[in-house]
Amino acid sequence: MKNYWFIGDIHGEISLLEKLLSAILKHDPREIIFVGDYIDRGPHSRKVVDRIMELELPVVCLMGNHELMMLNAYEDSAFGYNPMELWYQNGGEATLQSFGFPGFFSFQSQMEDHYLQFFRSLRMSHVTEPGTGLRVLATHAGVSPSIPVADQLLLKDYQDLQQYIQDKQLDMEESFLWARETFFNSPATLWKGYVVVHGHTPTLKLKRFIQTGHYPNFHLVGNDLVIRRDGEHGDVVSVGIDSGSTISGRLTGLGIFVNKEDANGSSISMRSLTVTREDIFPRDLGPIGP
């Protein structure tokens, strides 16, 4: 059975990643898409990057806002703030330690080229088309109303994004690497024709918004995923998969499965795997459609 997997924010938690990959690889996936935030906060950012780079199957690695902060610090690129200070405030010190650097300046002068190439080549978004006309748009934080999806899909890497932000005179927080409330409050017509899979906002954080009643069509799956539908019982329009690895000790993968074709054609369903250091929680999330 064809299947494609999306892995949420890892943040240096190598033991969780190893456990999740072990479970996912048993399904013989066609492709694994990482939605960003491999580094910072957790203790093993370098090991996480090494593990991803050694995978021997099709892999797509997206940029997260933490990789963006790291590159901005490395390049000393800023828009009205100190990029090194911002990165430090968001867990950059743990990343420096994991790479063996005693401080920021040794990081700037001694970072190995193959790691820089990995970070600089991270993609902005990725579209997976598993079948039956379904298009899954993977992006770190979702979709930004300030950047049309058509423009987002044209941006390939860090340099493209930096240039776009400058040309459009946007704040970096307005991009699809940082969006939160603006994405959650936007109508799904903003990304019509796609199911968006994203990380960035931990489910426990989004849960607080849902409980205020502002997002009635967002459905919690434990404290690990959030599924948004087009109306109460309509098609899935987005899935948040950030289980808050360093906070909760949990990491989630979302699987898109193309079920066996019958007289009515193939059907597509979702499953998830959430791992802790001790356990694994498989879930059948049902069909993409209503």
For residues 262-269, give the mean pLDDT: 73
Alpha-helical segments (H) within the chain:
14-25, 45-53, 65-75, 83-89, 92-98, 104-110, 113-120, 149-154, 158-168, 181-184, 203-211, 245-248
> pLDDT by residue (tens digit) across 11-22?
999 999 999 999
pLDDT, tens digit, for every residue of 99-153? 999 888 888 889 999 999 999 999 999 999 998 899 999 999 999 999 999 999 9
* Total number of domains constituting the chain: 1
Given a cut of 70, is residue 4 above it in pLDDT? yes
**Structural domain containing residue 206:** 3-287
Give tens-digit pLDDT for 169-217.
998 889 999 999 999 999 999 999 999 999 999 999 999 888 887 788 9
CATH of the domain at 240: 3.60.21.10
pLDDT for position 210: 86
Q: CB–CB of 285/272 below 8 Å?
A: yes
